[in-house]
Amino acid sequence: MRIDARGASAEFNAAPITNAKDVSSVVEKFREKYGANDVKKYYPKLDVAVFARSVKSEENRE
């Protein structure tokens, strides 16, 4: 997976997380950071998460 934003980019290896206990842990962290109402509003299905590890990054400057 590659993400580009504001002149910076990074590549990630990504893998799905489907174990209910592990997904629940991720969901709780989102609730703590963004609030339960926003998590419920933007994430109607809470049955999977993604683990992403950075592979390489670069900064694009003009």
Task: Please name the residues in contact with 54: beta carbons below 8 A apart, sequence gap of 6 or more.
Answer: 10, 11, 12
Model pTM score: 0.71
Virtual torsion, Cα 39, 11, 48, 33, nearest 10 deg: -30
Q: Report phi then psi at 58, rounded to 5.
A: -150, 155
Tokens of 54: 């950075």
pLDDT digits (tens, 9 = 90+) for 1-37: 998 999 999 999 999 999 999 999 999 999 999 999 9
Delimit the domains of the chain by residue range: 2-59
Q: Helix, strand or coil for residue 54?
A: strand
